[in-house]
Amino acid sequence: MEFNRKNVAAIIDHTLLKPEATEKDILKCCEEANKYGFASVCIHPCYVKSAGKALKGSSVKIATVVGFPLGANLSSIKAFEAAKAVEDGANELDMVINIGALKQGKVEYVENDIRIVVEAAKGAIVKVILETCYLTKEEKILACELCKKAGAHFVKTSTGFASAGALVEDVALMRKIAGQDMGVKAAGGIRTLESLIAMVEAGANRIGTSSGVRIIEQIEE
C-alpha cells in the first residue's frame, strides 16, 4: 500500500466516542470525514440518524457501537442495539465481546453472543472488539477463531477506553488467525502516521482513530 492521503484516509474510521460528544461535534466529525474521504465515521448510536442526514449522498459509511464499552450486556440487548442501529442507517457495527465470558472459557456463549449480533445486523459489517489488553495470547487466538465461526467481518483490538490500546504484535497475531477471510481493525492510541503505518504493515486493513485529520495532514502531497 502506498501511504498517500487518499489511500490512508480510505482505511480510517474517523472516530468520536467521547462521552461528552454533542450533536454539533458529530456533525463536525461528518464534515471532516467527507472532506478527507475517510472510510467511515464511528459514533454513538444516538447520533446515527443525524450522521445519516449529514452524509446523505456521501461515500462515507456510518459505523456505531454495540455493547460498548464493556461488552457485558445481555446478548439480547446487543441484538436489539444492532438491529436498531441498522434501522437508523448504520452500515457498520463495532461490538464488544463478552470479555468475562471469554476468560471463563464460555466458548459457546461467546460465539453465540457474536453470532446473534451478526444476524441482527442483516448484512451490515460487524467488527468484534476483543479488548486485547485484558486477554492472554491463547484467549486472543480463541477470540479470533470464535469471531470467524460466528460470521463476523472484522476483529478489532480495542475500545480505546481500556488500560491500553492497539499493539503491533496483537495486530500481527490477529491477522495470522484471521487469515485473509476477515478484516483486522487496529484502534486505541493511534495518533500519528508512523503508528498507523506500523499497524498496517502488521496486518491491519482498517484503523480506528480520533486523530484522522492530524494523521492525514502529516502526509505531504
Reported as a single tens digit per residue, the pLDDT across 184-212 is 999 999 999 999 999 999 999 999 999 99
Whole-number average pLDDT of the chain: 98
pLDDT 10s digits, 67-96: 999 999 999 999 999 999 999 999 999 999
Whether the ω angle into residue 19 lies within 30 degrees of 0, i.e. cis, is: no
Q: For residue 126, is pLDDT > 90?
A: yes
The residues that are catalytic are 94, 156, 185
Distance CA 131, CA 148 (A): 17
Q: How many domains does the structure of the chain reveal?
A: 1
79 DSSP 8-state letter = H
The structure's pTM equals 0.98
* Helices 193-202, 168-178: crossing angle, 10 deg rounding: 30
Task: Enumerate the β-bridge partners of residue 95.
Answer: 66, 128
Residue 93: which CATH number? 3.20.20.70
Residue 221: the pLDDT is 80
pLDDT 10s digits, 136-171: 999 999 999 999 999 999 999 999 999 999 999 999
Answer yes or no: are the C-beta atoms of 69 and 96 closer than 8 Å: yes
Provide the H-helix boundaries in 37-167: 48-54, 75-88, 99-103, 107-120, 137-150
Distance CA 8, CA 13 (A): 11
Assigned C-alpha cell, 63: 459505523
Q: How far is CA 156 from CA 23, 49, 132, in A?
A: 26, 24, 9
Q: Is 57 exposed, middle or buried (0-12, 13-18, 19+ CB in 10 A)?
A: exposed
Q: Domain range for residue 53?
A: 5-217
Distance CA 16, CA 85 (A): 16
pLDDT 10s digits, 41-68: 999 999 999 999 999 999 999 999 999 9
